């Protein structure tokens, strides 16, 4: 069998929270991914896709079936500023590559952790940019089909939306394998400066000193905000990538900055982050998620929705 048994996935999570996976496998090539899916199917194991682990809250109970870690790296230069990037490439490595070659278009992603595949699935975004912006096409492995089959979709077929794509809608039905990006030429030093500015911004405002999984909740599109509460938040609306009310503000105004449960805490530095400051359990984090939802609903009559995934 390809797989390892009883691997503690907390070490693969940026949160350092989790438990044992029944089976675990790191796939370093597309062929590895196909072989693992084949084997899991033969053994009737469910498959959970893990990549950088920067957006998943695992339970201490662990994960039944196979945890398949996507680590196919490799970046290939195509014609005319196009690049083909493996899903397992770390965003920071992709940014290093574009700086070295003077390829512009992903500067907004400076400091965005995780992999290219994870970012495509969730259409990750920041500073007005989104993963979809430079995408041309995405290849994925459809594992819901009777016989796993590789699909190629043009950007227009990927159903990108705010932190959403066809790959996320299909739950674990498809594994993003690689993607082609259309970049444009720019001086490397200008690309590097923009990226460094974003990294600095994040270092100053995000609680990166503690294990975390980024923003817990999505920001709230202003147009969906209840009419009766709109006046209270209109001064704080920002455009990223369309007018949104920052959830960090709502949690802060609900009086929850610095509130803790066990070893987890709503970050006083950025209240949409819940940090693991002292051996937090998944239940500690979930208690704070419930608290934030309840208090924000009471005060603003809006439902907070998770950006993170549970496993």
Ligand X SMILES: Cc1cc2nc3c(=O)[nH]c(=O)nc-3n(C[C@H](O)[C@H](O)[C@H](O)COP(=O)(O)OP(=O)(O)OC[C@H]3O[C@@H](n4cnc5c(N)ncnc54)[C@H](O)[C@@H]3O)c2cc1C
Active site residues: 163, 215, 307
Closer Cβ to ligand X, 126 or 296, answer by number: 126
Angle between helices 91-101 and 188-205 (to 10 degrees): 150
Q: Is 217 in the site for ligand X (CB under 6 A)?
A: no
Q: Is 85 in the site for ligand X (CB under 6 A)?
A: no
Instruction: Report yes or no: 266 and 256 within 8 Å, Cβ to Cβ.
Output: yes
Give the shortest CB-65-to-ligand X separation in angstroms: 13
Give the shortest CB-298-to-ligand X separation in angstroms: 27
Instruction: Report yes or no: 143 and 172 within 8 Å, Cβ to Cβ.
Output: yes
Strand ranges inside 201-287, DSSP E: 220-221, 238-239, 243-245, 260-261, 264-266, 274-276
Residue list 267-296, contact with ligand X (CB under 6 A)? none
Give the shortest CB-303-to-ligand X separation in angstroms: 20
- Of 80, 68, 49, 57, the C-alpha closest to 10 is 57
Closer Cβ to ligand X, 21 or 56, answer by number: 56
Closer Cβ to ligand X, 45 or 81, answer by number: 45
For 238, other C-beta atoms within 10 Å of its C-beta total 13
Q: Is 214 in the site for ligand X (CB under 6 A)?
A: yes
Q: Is 167 in the site for ligand X (CB under 6 A)?
A: yes
- Of 258, 251, 264, the C-alpha closest to 299 is 251
Q: Is 110 in the site for ligand X (CB under 6 A)?
A: no
Which residues contact ligand X (rule: CB under 6 A)?
Answer: 14, 49-56, 70, 87, 112-115, 117-119, 121-122, 124-126, 167, 175-176, 206, 208, 212-214, 309
């Amino acid at each position: 069998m390809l797989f390892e048994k009883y691997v503690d996935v907390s070490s693969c999570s940026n949160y350092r929270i989790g438990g044992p996976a029944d089976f675990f496998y790191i796939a370093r090539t597309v062929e590895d991914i196909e072989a693992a899916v084949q084997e899991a199917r033969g053994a009737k194991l469910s498959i959970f896709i893990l990549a950088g682990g920067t957006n998943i809250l695992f339970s201490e109970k662990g994960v039944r079936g196979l945890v398949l870690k996507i680590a196919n790296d490799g970046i290939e230069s195509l014609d005319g500023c196009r690049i083909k990037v493996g899903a397992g490439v770390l965003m920071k490595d992709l940014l290093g590559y574009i700086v070295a070659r003077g390829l512009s278009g992903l500067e907004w992603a400076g400091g965005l952790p995780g992999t290219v595949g994870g970012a495509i699935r969730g259409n990750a975004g920041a500073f007005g940019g989104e993963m979809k912006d430079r995408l041309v096409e995405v290849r994925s492995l459809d594992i819901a089909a009777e016989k796993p089959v590789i699909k190629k979709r043009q950007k227009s077929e990927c159903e990108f939306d705010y932190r959403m794509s066809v790959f996320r809608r299909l739950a674990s039905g498809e594994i993003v394998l690689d993607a082609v990006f259309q970049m444009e030429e720019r001086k490397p030093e200008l690309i590097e400066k923009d990226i460094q500015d974003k990294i600095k911004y994040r270092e100053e405002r995000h609680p990166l000193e503690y294990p975390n999984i980024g923003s817990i909740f999505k920001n709230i599109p202003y147009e969906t905000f209840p009419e009766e509460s709109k006046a209270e938040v209109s001064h704080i609306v920002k455009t990223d990538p369309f007018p949104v009310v920052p959830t960090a503000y709502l949690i802060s105004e609900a009086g929850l900055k610095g509130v803790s449960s066990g070893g987890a805490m709503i970050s006083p530095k950025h209240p949409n982050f819940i940090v693991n400051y002292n051996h937090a359990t998944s239940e500690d984090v979930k208690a704070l998620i419930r608290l934030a939802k309840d208090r924000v609903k009471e005060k603003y009559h809006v439902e907070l929705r998770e950006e993170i995934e549970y496993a």
